[in-house]
A and B are shown apart, each in its own frame.
Chain A
Amino acid sequence: MVDFARVQKELQECNRDFEVSGIKVMPKSDANLAHLLGTIPGPLGTPYEGGSFKIDITLPDGYPFEPPKMQFATKVWHPNISSQSGAICLDILKDQWSPALTLKTALLSVQALLSAPEPDDPQDAVVAQQYLRDYPTFMGTARYWTEAFAMTSSLGVEDKVLKLVEMGFPEALVRSTLVSVDGDENMALEKLCSG
Protein backbone atom coordinates (compact mmCIF):
# COMPACT_ATOMS: atom_id res chain seq x y z
CA MET A 1 0.00 0.00 0.00
CA VAL A 2 1.20 3.49 -0.85
CA ASP A 3 1.61 5.57 2.30
CA PHE A 4 -1.00 8.17 1.36
CA ALA A 5 -0.74 10.09 4.62
CA ARG A 6 2.85 10.80 3.69
CA VAL A 7 1.93 11.70 0.10
CA GLN A 8 -0.56 14.28 1.40
CA LYS A 9 2.17 15.86 3.52
CA GLU A 10 4.55 15.84 0.58
CA LEU A 11 2.07 17.67 -1.63
CA GLN A 12 1.51 20.32 1.03
CA GLU A 13 5.20 20.81 1.66
CA CYS A 14 6.10 20.96 -2.02
CA ASN A 15 3.39 23.39 -3.02
CA ARG A 16 4.05 25.66 -0.03
CA ASP A 17 7.24 27.09 -1.52
CA PHE A 18 6.07 27.00 -5.14
CA GLU A 19 6.79 30.74 -5.36
CA VAL A 20 10.48 30.06 -4.72
CA SER A 21 11.09 26.72 -6.42
CA GLY A 22 8.53 26.88 -9.23
CA ILE A 23 8.02 23.17 -8.59
CA LYS A 24 4.51 21.87 -8.21
CA VAL A 25 2.86 18.48 -7.70
CA MET A 26 -0.88 17.96 -8.13
CA PRO A 27 -3.05 14.84 -8.03
CA LYS A 28 -4.39 13.99 -11.47
CA SER A 29 -7.74 13.37 -9.85
CA ASP A 30 -8.96 13.82 -6.30
CA ALA A 31 -9.87 10.17 -6.14
CA ASN A 32 -6.40 8.74 -6.60
CA LEU A 33 -3.23 10.02 -4.97
CA ALA A 34 -1.10 7.40 -6.72
CA HIS A 35 -1.23 9.34 -9.99
CA LEU A 36 0.27 12.79 -9.86
CA LEU A 37 1.42 15.49 -12.20
CA GLY A 38 4.60 17.40 -11.44
CA THR A 39 5.69 20.67 -13.01
CA ILE A 40 9.27 21.96 -13.18
CA PRO A 41 10.52 25.18 -14.74
CA GLY A 42 13.37 24.83 -17.25
CA PRO A 43 16.62 25.94 -15.58
CA LEU A 44 17.96 29.41 -16.45
CA GLY A 45 20.87 29.53 -18.84
CA THR A 46 19.88 26.26 -20.58
CA PRO A 47 17.93 25.66 -23.78
CA TYR A 48 15.03 24.68 -21.49
CA GLU A 49 14.78 28.17 -19.93
CA GLY A 50 11.29 29.62 -19.97
CA GLY A 51 9.70 26.22 -20.49
CA SER A 52 7.31 24.59 -18.08
CA PHE A 53 7.77 20.82 -18.09
CA LYS A 54 5.07 18.40 -16.97
CA ILE A 55 6.08 15.11 -15.43
CA ASP A 56 3.79 12.12 -15.01
CA ILE A 57 4.25 10.56 -11.59
CA THR A 58 2.99 7.12 -10.60
CA LEU A 59 3.53 5.91 -7.06
CA PRO A 60 4.12 2.16 -6.77
CA ASP A 61 2.56 0.19 -3.89
CA GLY A 62 5.85 0.16 -2.03
CA TYR A 63 6.25 3.95 -1.97
CA PRO A 64 8.22 5.43 -0.16
CA PHE A 65 10.42 2.30 -0.16
CA GLU A 66 10.08 1.98 -3.92
CA PRO A 67 10.96 5.01 -6.05
CA PRO A 68 8.20 7.01 -7.72
CA LYS A 69 7.88 6.31 -11.44
CA MET A 70 8.44 9.56 -13.31
CA GLN A 71 8.41 10.39 -16.97
CA PHE A 72 8.14 13.57 -18.96
CA ALA A 73 4.66 14.29 -20.31
CA THR A 74 6.05 17.33 -22.12
CA LYS A 75 8.27 16.45 -25.06
CA VAL A 76 11.89 17.32 -24.34
CA TRP A 77 15.19 17.02 -26.26
CA HIS A 78 17.81 15.82 -23.78
CA PRO A 79 20.38 12.95 -23.80
CA ASN A 80 19.02 11.38 -20.60
CA ILE A 81 15.33 11.65 -21.46
CA SER A 82 13.65 9.63 -24.18
CA SER A 83 12.44 11.93 -26.95
CA GLN A 84 9.78 9.30 -27.70
CA SER A 85 8.41 8.21 -24.34
CA GLY A 86 9.71 10.81 -21.89
CA ALA A 87 11.44 8.08 -19.83
CA ILE A 88 14.12 9.49 -17.54
CA CYS A 89 17.55 7.97 -16.86
CA LEU A 90 18.37 9.07 -13.32
CA ASP A 91 19.97 7.01 -10.54
CA ILE A 92 17.75 8.29 -7.72
CA LEU A 93 14.68 7.08 -9.64
CA LYS A 94 16.25 3.62 -9.66
CA ASP A 95 18.66 1.94 -7.22
CA GLN A 96 19.77 5.15 -5.53
CA TRP A 97 16.27 5.99 -4.33
CA SER A 98 15.79 6.29 -0.57
CA PRO A 99 12.73 6.95 1.59
CA ALA A 100 14.71 9.99 2.80
CA LEU A 101 13.98 11.57 -0.59
CA THR A 102 10.67 13.12 -1.55
CA LEU A 103 8.72 13.88 -4.71
CA LYS A 104 10.06 17.40 -4.47
CA THR A 105 13.71 16.42 -4.07
CA ALA A 106 13.26 13.95 -6.94
CA LEU A 107 11.81 16.70 -9.16
CA LEU A 108 14.69 18.98 -8.13
CA SER A 109 17.09 16.26 -9.28
CA VAL A 110 15.24 15.97 -12.58
CA GLN A 111 15.54 19.74 -12.96
CA ALA A 112 19.27 19.50 -12.18
CA LEU A 113 19.55 16.82 -14.86
CA LEU A 114 18.19 19.34 -17.39
CA SER A 115 21.09 21.64 -16.43
CA ALA A 116 23.73 18.92 -16.50
CA PRO A 117 23.19 16.30 -19.21
CA GLU A 118 25.24 13.10 -18.96
CA PRO A 119 25.60 12.02 -22.59
CA ASP A 120 27.89 9.13 -21.64
CA ASP A 121 25.03 7.42 -19.83
CA PRO A 122 22.22 8.16 -22.27
CA GLN A 123 18.53 7.30 -22.29
CA ASP A 124 18.13 8.53 -25.87
CA ALA A 125 21.08 7.46 -28.01
CA VAL A 126 20.15 9.72 -30.93
CA VAL A 127 20.04 12.84 -28.77
CA ALA A 128 23.23 11.84 -26.97
CA GLN A 129 25.10 11.34 -30.27
CA GLN A 130 23.97 14.74 -31.45
CA TYR A 131 25.00 16.29 -28.13
CA LEU A 132 28.51 14.81 -28.43
CA ARG A 133 29.07 15.26 -32.18
CA ASP A 134 27.14 18.38 -33.10
CA TYR A 135 26.56 20.47 -30.01
CA PRO A 136 25.20 23.59 -31.82
CA THR A 137 22.49 21.53 -33.53
CA PHE A 138 21.68 19.86 -30.21
CA MET A 139 21.26 23.28 -28.57
CA GLY A 140 19.07 24.46 -31.45
CA THR A 141 16.84 21.39 -31.36
CA ALA A 142 16.52 21.47 -27.58
CA ARG A 143 15.54 25.15 -27.75
CA TYR A 144 13.07 24.55 -30.56
CA TRP A 145 11.40 21.71 -28.64
CA THR A 146 11.18 23.89 -25.54
CA GLU A 147 9.47 26.67 -27.49
CA ALA A 148 7.19 24.28 -29.35
CA PHE A 149 6.12 22.01 -26.48
CA ALA A 150 6.93 23.57 -23.13
CA MET A 151 5.96 27.20 -23.61
CA THR A 152 2.41 26.95 -24.90
CA SER A 153 1.13 27.28 -21.39
CA SER A 154 1.96 30.98 -21.56
CA LEU A 155 -1.32 31.44 -23.45
CA GLY A 156 -4.13 32.72 -21.28
CA VAL A 157 -6.79 30.24 -20.23
CA GLU A 158 -9.41 31.88 -22.40
CA ASP A 159 -7.15 31.65 -25.47
CA LYS A 160 -6.70 27.95 -24.87
CA VAL A 161 -10.42 27.41 -24.37
CA LEU A 162 -11.12 29.30 -27.58
CA LYS A 163 -8.56 27.31 -29.55
CA LEU A 164 -9.89 23.97 -28.37
CA VAL A 165 -13.54 24.96 -28.84
CA GLU A 166 -12.67 25.99 -32.40
CA MET A 167 -11.40 22.46 -32.94
CA GLY A 168 -14.93 21.28 -32.22
CA PHE A 169 -14.94 20.21 -28.55
CA PRO A 170 -17.78 21.35 -26.26
CA GLU A 171 -16.77 24.31 -24.09
CA ALA A 172 -17.74 22.78 -20.73
CA LEU A 173 -15.68 19.66 -21.48
CA VAL A 174 -12.74 21.79 -22.67
CA ARG A 175 -12.76 23.76 -19.42
CA SER A 176 -12.96 20.75 -17.15
CA THR A 177 -10.27 18.94 -19.15
CA LEU A 178 -7.95 21.94 -18.99
CA VAL A 179 -8.37 22.08 -15.23
CA SER A 180 -7.64 18.36 -14.90
CA VAL A 181 -4.31 18.69 -16.73
CA ASP A 182 -3.35 21.85 -14.92
CA GLY A 183 -3.85 24.11 -17.95
CA ASP A 184 -1.56 22.23 -20.31
CA GLU A 185 -3.02 22.76 -23.77
CA ASN A 186 -1.25 19.85 -25.45
CA MET A 187 -2.23 17.39 -22.75
CA ALA A 188 -5.80 18.66 -22.79
CA LEU A 189 -5.97 18.08 -26.54
CA GLU A 190 -4.55 14.59 -26.13
CA LYS A 191 -7.09 13.79 -23.43
CA LEU A 192 -9.99 15.24 -25.44
CA CYS A 193 -8.99 13.21 -28.49
CA SER A 194 -8.57 9.98 -26.55
CA GLY A 195 -11.69 10.55 -24.43
Chain B
Amino acid sequence: MQQQSAIQAEEAEKIPFVGDKEPLSSLAVEYKSGNAILLEKIKVLIKQYAAIRRTRGDGNCFFRSFMFAYLEHILESQDRAEADRITVSVEQCRKTLLSLGYAEFTFEDFFALFLEQLENVFQGSEGSISHDELVQRSRDQSLSDYVVMFFRFVASGEIRKRSEFYEPFIQGLTNTSVEQFCKSMVEPMGEESDHVHITALSEALGVPIRVVYLDRSSCDNGNVIVNHHDFIPSTKGDLTYGNVRGSETLKPFITMLYRPGHYDILYPK
Protein backbone atom coordinates (compact mmCIF):
# COMPACT_ATOMS: atom_id res chain seq x y z
CA MET B 1 0.00 0.00 0.00
CA GLN B 2 2.74 2.40 1.07
CA GLN B 3 4.89 1.29 -1.83
CA GLN B 4 2.01 1.82 -4.21
CA SER B 5 1.47 5.39 -3.08
CA ALA B 6 5.21 6.01 -3.27
CA ILE B 7 5.21 4.87 -6.89
CA GLN B 8 2.22 7.07 -7.64
CA ALA B 9 3.92 10.05 -6.03
CA GLU B 10 7.07 9.45 -8.07
CA GLU B 11 5.07 9.17 -11.30
CA ALA B 12 3.10 12.30 -10.46
CA GLU B 13 6.21 14.39 -9.90
CA LYS B 14 7.26 13.91 -13.50
CA ILE B 15 4.72 16.50 -14.62
CA PRO B 16 4.44 19.99 -13.15
CA PHE B 17 1.45 20.92 -10.95
CA VAL B 18 0.07 22.75 -13.99
CA GLY B 19 1.40 21.88 -17.45
CA ASP B 20 1.68 23.84 -20.68
CA LYS B 21 -1.26 24.26 -23.05
CA GLU B 22 -1.18 21.41 -25.57
CA PRO B 23 -3.27 20.93 -28.70
CA LEU B 24 -6.03 18.40 -28.15
CA SER B 25 -4.44 16.15 -30.74
CA SER B 26 -1.92 15.21 -28.05
CA LEU B 27 -4.75 13.33 -26.38
CA ALA B 28 -5.30 11.27 -29.53
CA VAL B 29 -1.59 10.41 -29.61
CA GLU B 30 -1.80 9.24 -26.01
CA TYR B 31 -4.57 6.76 -26.86
CA LYS B 32 -3.46 5.86 -30.38
CA SER B 33 -3.41 2.14 -29.75
CA GLY B 34 -6.17 2.31 -27.19
CA ASN B 35 -9.85 1.63 -26.86
CA ALA B 36 -11.95 2.35 -29.96
CA ILE B 37 -14.71 4.15 -28.08
CA LEU B 38 -12.18 6.47 -26.48
CA LEU B 39 -10.65 7.26 -29.87
CA GLU B 40 -14.07 8.05 -31.31
CA LYS B 41 -14.82 10.30 -28.38
CA ILE B 42 -11.53 12.13 -28.76
CA LYS B 43 -12.48 12.84 -32.39
CA VAL B 44 -15.72 14.41 -31.15
CA LEU B 45 -13.82 16.43 -28.55
CA ILE B 46 -11.35 17.75 -31.10
CA LYS B 47 -14.27 19.31 -32.99
CA GLN B 48 -15.34 21.29 -29.95
CA TYR B 49 -12.17 21.91 -27.99
CA ALA B 50 -8.87 23.39 -29.04
CA ALA B 51 -6.48 22.54 -26.25
CA ILE B 52 -5.82 20.77 -23.00
CA ARG B 53 -3.69 21.79 -20.05
CA ARG B 54 -2.71 18.84 -17.91
CA THR B 55 -2.35 18.95 -14.15
CA ARG B 56 -0.37 16.68 -11.87
CA GLY B 57 -2.25 13.58 -10.72
CA ASP B 58 -1.52 14.08 -7.04
CA GLY B 59 -5.08 13.98 -5.75
CA ASN B 60 -5.36 17.77 -5.90
CA CYS B 61 -5.91 17.94 -9.67
CA PHE B 62 -9.52 19.16 -9.50
CA PHE B 63 -8.74 22.02 -7.13
CA ARG B 64 -5.49 22.83 -8.94
CA SER B 65 -7.26 22.88 -12.33
CA PHE B 66 -9.93 25.13 -10.89
CA MET B 67 -7.33 27.49 -9.46
CA PHE B 68 -5.51 27.92 -12.72
CA ALA B 69 -8.59 28.05 -14.95
CA TYR B 70 -10.30 30.63 -12.74
CA LEU B 71 -7.31 32.94 -12.34
CA GLU B 72 -6.47 32.61 -16.04
CA HIS B 73 -10.04 33.57 -16.92
CA ILE B 74 -9.85 36.68 -14.76
CA LEU B 75 -6.41 37.57 -16.13
CA GLU B 76 -7.64 37.32 -19.72
CA SER B 77 -11.06 38.90 -19.23
CA GLN B 78 -9.99 41.54 -16.65
CA ASP B 79 -13.54 41.07 -15.36
CA ARG B 80 -13.62 43.30 -12.29
CA ALA B 81 -17.31 42.63 -11.65
CA GLU B 82 -16.67 38.88 -11.38
CA ALA B 83 -13.70 39.46 -9.06
CA ASP B 84 -15.81 41.71 -6.84
CA ARG B 85 -18.57 39.11 -6.84
CA ILE B 86 -16.29 36.24 -5.82
CA THR B 87 -14.69 38.41 -3.14
CA VAL B 88 -18.11 38.73 -1.53
CA SER B 89 -18.53 34.94 -1.72
CA VAL B 90 -15.09 34.44 -0.17
CA GLU B 91 -16.06 36.71 2.69
CA GLN B 92 -19.20 34.60 3.17
CA CYS B 93 -17.03 31.47 3.30
CA ARG B 94 -14.85 33.09 5.95
CA LYS B 95 -17.93 33.77 8.06
CA THR B 96 -19.16 30.22 7.49
CA LEU B 97 -15.92 28.74 8.79
CA LEU B 98 -15.95 31.02 11.83
CA SER B 99 -19.54 30.08 12.61
CA LEU B 100 -18.60 26.40 12.30
CA GLY B 101 -15.97 26.91 14.99
CA TYR B 102 -12.76 26.93 12.92
CA ALA B 103 -9.99 28.95 14.54
CA GLU B 104 -9.28 31.90 12.26
CA PHE B 105 -5.53 31.33 12.20
CA THR B 106 -6.06 27.91 10.63
CA PHE B 107 -7.48 29.39 7.44
CA GLU B 108 -6.74 33.14 7.26
CA ASP B 109 -3.39 32.78 5.46
CA PHE B 110 -4.95 30.59 2.77
CA PHE B 111 -7.77 33.07 2.20
CA ALA B 112 -5.39 36.03 2.08
CA LEU B 113 -3.17 34.27 -0.43
CA PHE B 114 -6.04 33.53 -2.81
CA LEU B 115 -7.32 37.10 -2.66
CA GLU B 116 -3.80 38.33 -3.32
CA GLN B 117 -3.53 36.16 -6.46
CA LEU B 118 -6.94 37.41 -7.58
CA GLU B 119 -5.78 41.00 -7.21
CA ASN B 120 -2.45 40.32 -8.92
CA VAL B 121 -4.01 39.05 -12.16
CA PHE B 122 -5.46 42.53 -12.77
CA GLN B 123 -3.09 44.53 -14.89
CA GLY B 124 -1.76 47.98 -14.22
CA SER B 125 -0.85 47.82 -10.56
CA GLU B 126 2.43 47.23 -8.79
CA GLY B 127 1.72 43.57 -8.00
CA SER B 128 0.36 42.71 -11.45
CA ILE B 129 1.54 39.45 -12.97
CA SER B 130 1.68 38.27 -16.57
CA HIS B 131 0.23 35.03 -17.88
CA ASP B 132 3.70 33.46 -17.72
CA GLU B 133 4.03 34.46 -14.10
CA LEU B 134 0.64 32.94 -13.34
CA VAL B 135 1.89 29.66 -14.81
CA GLN B 136 5.08 29.90 -12.76
CA ARG B 137 3.17 30.63 -9.56
CA SER B 138 0.85 27.70 -10.18
CA ARG B 139 3.93 25.48 -10.38
CA ASP B 140 5.44 26.88 -7.18
CA GLN B 141 4.48 24.46 -4.45
CA SER B 142 4.40 26.92 -1.60
CA LEU B 143 1.96 29.14 -3.46
CA SER B 144 -0.01 26.55 -5.39
CA ASP B 145 -0.67 24.31 -2.38
CA TYR B 146 -1.90 27.27 -0.33
CA VAL B 147 -4.52 28.09 -2.95
CA VAL B 148 -5.53 24.42 -3.26
CA MET B 149 -5.95 24.31 0.50
CA PHE B 150 -8.02 27.50 0.35
CA PHE B 151 -10.47 25.72 -1.97
CA ARG B 152 -10.54 22.71 0.34
CA PHE B 153 -11.52 24.99 3.23
CA VAL B 154 -14.23 26.58 1.10
CA ALA B 155 -15.67 23.22 0.01
CA SER B 156 -15.56 21.77 3.51
CA GLY B 157 -17.25 24.81 5.03
CA GLU B 158 -20.02 24.68 2.41
CA ILE B 159 -20.65 20.95 2.97
CA ARG B 160 -20.76 21.32 6.75
CA LYS B 161 -22.97 24.39 6.60
CA ARG B 162 -25.55 22.70 4.37
CA SER B 163 -24.98 19.20 5.68
CA GLU B 164 -28.63 18.14 5.25
CA PHE B 165 -28.35 18.92 1.51
CA TYR B 166 -25.04 17.08 1.00
CA GLU B 167 -25.72 14.14 3.32
CA PRO B 168 -27.58 11.93 0.77
CA PHE B 169 -24.79 12.41 -1.81
CA ILE B 170 -22.14 11.56 0.75
CA GLN B 171 -24.09 8.52 1.86
CA GLY B 172 -24.14 7.43 -1.78
CA LEU B 173 -20.35 7.63 -1.98
CA THR B 174 -19.16 6.32 1.35
CA ASN B 175 -20.67 5.10 4.53
CA THR B 176 -19.53 8.02 6.65
CA SER B 177 -21.01 11.04 8.38
CA VAL B 178 -20.78 14.50 6.82
CA GLU B 179 -18.33 15.51 9.54
CA GLN B 180 -16.10 12.51 8.91
CA PHE B 181 -16.30 12.99 5.13
CA CYS B 182 -15.06 16.57 5.45
CA LYS B 183 -12.31 15.58 7.86
CA SER B 184 -10.98 12.66 5.90
CA MET B 185 -11.88 13.33 2.25
CA VAL B 186 -12.06 17.10 1.78
CA GLU B 187 -9.64 18.78 4.18
CA PRO B 188 -6.52 16.61 3.82
CA MET B 189 -4.31 17.51 0.84
CA GLY B 190 -4.14 14.82 -1.83
CA GLU B 191 -7.64 13.45 -1.28
CA GLU B 192 -9.34 13.12 -4.65
CA SER B 193 -12.43 15.10 -5.58
CA ASP B 194 -15.83 13.75 -6.44
CA HIS B 195 -19.03 15.42 -7.57
CA VAL B 196 -19.70 16.42 -3.93
CA HIS B 197 -16.49 18.48 -3.84
CA ILE B 198 -17.25 20.07 -7.20
CA THR B 199 -20.84 20.92 -6.28
CA ALA B 200 -19.69 22.41 -2.96
CA LEU B 201 -16.95 24.55 -4.49
CA SER B 202 -19.21 25.75 -7.30
CA GLU B 203 -22.02 26.58 -4.87
CA ALA B 204 -19.86 28.30 -2.27
CA LEU B 205 -18.00 30.49 -4.75
CA GLY B 206 -20.90 30.93 -7.17
CA VAL B 207 -18.79 29.75 -10.11
CA PRO B 208 -20.32 27.42 -12.72
CA ILE B 209 -18.09 24.55 -13.88
CA ARG B 210 -18.43 22.25 -16.90
CA VAL B 211 -17.01 18.75 -16.61
CA VAL B 212 -16.59 16.72 -19.81
CA TYR B 213 -16.40 12.98 -19.28
CA LEU B 214 -14.02 10.88 -21.31
CA ASP B 215 -14.72 7.27 -20.43
CA ARG B 216 -15.62 4.02 -22.19
CA SER B 217 -19.35 4.32 -21.80
CA SER B 218 -21.25 4.21 -25.08
CA CYS B 219 -24.80 4.43 -26.39
CA ASP B 220 -26.69 1.36 -27.51
CA ASN B 221 -27.41 2.74 -30.95
CA GLY B 222 -23.73 3.03 -31.73
CA ASN B 223 -23.60 6.82 -31.76
CA VAL B 224 -20.69 8.20 -29.86
CA ILE B 225 -21.63 11.04 -27.56
CA VAL B 226 -19.29 12.74 -25.15
CA ASN B 227 -21.23 13.46 -21.98
CA HIS B 228 -20.76 16.55 -19.95
CA HIS B 229 -22.28 17.92 -16.80
CA ASP B 230 -22.62 21.57 -15.85
CA PHE B 231 -22.34 22.36 -12.18
CA ILE B 232 -24.45 25.50 -11.93
CA PRO B 233 -24.63 27.19 -8.55
CA SER B 234 -28.19 27.46 -7.24
CA THR B 235 -29.76 30.88 -6.87
CA LYS B 236 -29.17 31.09 -3.14
CA GLY B 237 -26.13 33.28 -3.61
CA ASP B 238 -27.92 35.55 -6.03
CA LEU B 239 -30.18 36.90 -3.31
CA THR B 240 -27.27 38.94 -2.01
CA TYR B 241 -26.28 40.52 -5.30
CA GLY B 242 -29.12 39.56 -7.62
CA ASN B 243 -28.85 42.74 -9.64
CA VAL B 244 -25.46 41.64 -10.92
CA ARG B 245 -26.58 38.32 -12.30
CA GLY B 246 -30.32 38.60 -12.60
CA SER B 247 -32.15 35.49 -13.70
CA GLU B 248 -30.02 34.65 -16.71
CA THR B 249 -28.64 31.13 -16.78
CA LEU B 250 -25.03 31.02 -15.77
CA LYS B 251 -22.72 29.73 -18.47
CA PRO B 252 -19.59 27.91 -17.32
CA PHE B 253 -16.34 29.62 -18.26
CA ILE B 254 -14.32 26.82 -16.69
CA THR B 255 -14.24 23.46 -18.49
CA MET B 256 -12.50 20.39 -17.20
CA LEU B 257 -11.85 17.05 -18.81
CA TYR B 258 -12.53 14.15 -16.49
CA ARG B 259 -10.96 10.79 -17.09
CA PRO B 260 -11.60 8.27 -14.31
CA GLY B 261 -9.52 9.47 -11.38
CA HIS B 262 -8.21 12.68 -12.97
CA TYR B 263 -9.13 16.22 -14.03
CA ASP B 264 -7.38 18.45 -16.59
CA ILE B 265 -8.33 21.84 -18.04
CA LEU B 266 -10.03 21.99 -21.45
CA TYR B 267 -10.11 25.01 -23.77
CA PRO B 268 -13.14 25.39 -26.07
CA LYS B 269 -12.62 26.52 -29.66
* In the assembled complex, B110 has its CB within 8 A of some CB on chain A: yes
Bound form: Cα–Cα A91–B105 in Å? 23
Tally the A-B contacts, defined by beta carbons under 8 Å. 39
Q: Does B268 contact A (CB under 8 A)?
A: no
Q: Tell me if A190 is interfacial: C-beta within 8 Å of chain B.
A: no
Do B153 and A9 touch (CB < 8 A)? no
Task: Knowing A3-B109, A6-B109, say if A100 contacts B189 (CB, 8 Å).
Answer: no
A95 contacts chain B at the CB level, 8 A cutoff: yes
Contacts of A97 in B (CB 8 A): 188
Task: With A13-B103, A65-B145 as known contacts, state yes or no: A100 contacts B187, CB within 8 Å.
Answer: yes
- Find residues 148-198 in chain B having any chain A CB closer than 8 Å to their own CB: 149, 152-153, 156, 183-184, 187-190
**Are B105's CB and A9's CB within 8 A?**
yes
How far apart are A100's CB and chain B's nearest CB, in angstroms?
4
Q: State in angstroms the CA–CA spacing of A95 and B153 once bound together.
A: 17
Closest B residue by C-beta to A7: B105
For A96, give its contact among B105, B110, B145, B188 (CB under 8 Å): B188
Rounded to whole angstroms, the CA-CA distance of A65 and B189 in the bound complex is 8
Say yes or no for B221: interface residue by CB 8 A criterion: no
Q: By the criterion of a CB under 8 Å from any partner CB, how many residues of chain A are at the interface?
A: 16
Cα A102 to Cα B108 with chains together (Å):
14
Instruction: Quote the shortest CB–CB distance from A18 to chain B (angstroms).
Output: 15
Interface string of A68-104 (1 = CB under 8 A from B): 0000000000000000000000010001111111100
* Contacts A65-B145, A65-B189; A96 near B106 (Cβ below 8 A): no
Cβ of A136 to closest chain B Cβ, rounded Å = 33
Chain A: CB-nearest residue to B187: A98
A134 to chain B, nearest CB (A): 31
How many angstroms from the CA of A64 to the CA of B110 in the assembled complex?
11
Is A10 interfacial (CB-CB < 8 Å)?
yes
User: Which of B109, B188, B189 lies at the interface centre, i.e. has the most chain A CB atoms within 10 A of its CB?
Assistant: B188
Rounded to whole angstroms, the CA-CA distance of A181 and B11 in the bound complex is 44
A9 and B107 alpha carbons, distance in the complex (Å)? 12
Residues of A within 8 A of B106 (CB): 64, 99-102
In the complex, which of the residues A10, A65, A96, A100 contacts B156, with contact meaning CB atoms closer than 8 Å?
A100
The answer to whether B145 and A100 touch across the interface, beta carbons within 8 angstroms, is no
Q: Is B31 an interface residue (CB 8 A)?
A: no
Docked Cα-Cα span, A9 to B104, in Å, equals 10
Q: Please indicate the chain B residues that have their CB under 8 angstroms from the CB of A102 in the complex.
A: 103, 106
Q: Which of A97-148 contact B (CB under 8 A)?
A: 97-102
Q: When A and B form their complex, which 10 residue pairs have the shortest distance between CB atoms, in order from nearest?
A: A98-B187, A9-B105, A98-B188, A100-B187, A99-B149, A96-B184, A96-B188, A100-B106, A13-B103, A6-B105
* B-to-A contact residues, CB < 8 Å: 102-103, 105-107, 109-110, 145, 149, 152-153, 156, 183-184, 187-190
Known: A98-B189, A100-B153. 20 other contacts (CB 8 A): A6-B105, A6-B109, A10-B105, A13-B103, A64-B106, A65-B149, A91-B184, A95-B188, A95-B190, A96-B184, A97-B188, A98-B183, A99-B106, A99-B110, A99-B149, A99-B187, A100-B102, A100-B152, A101-B106, A102-B106
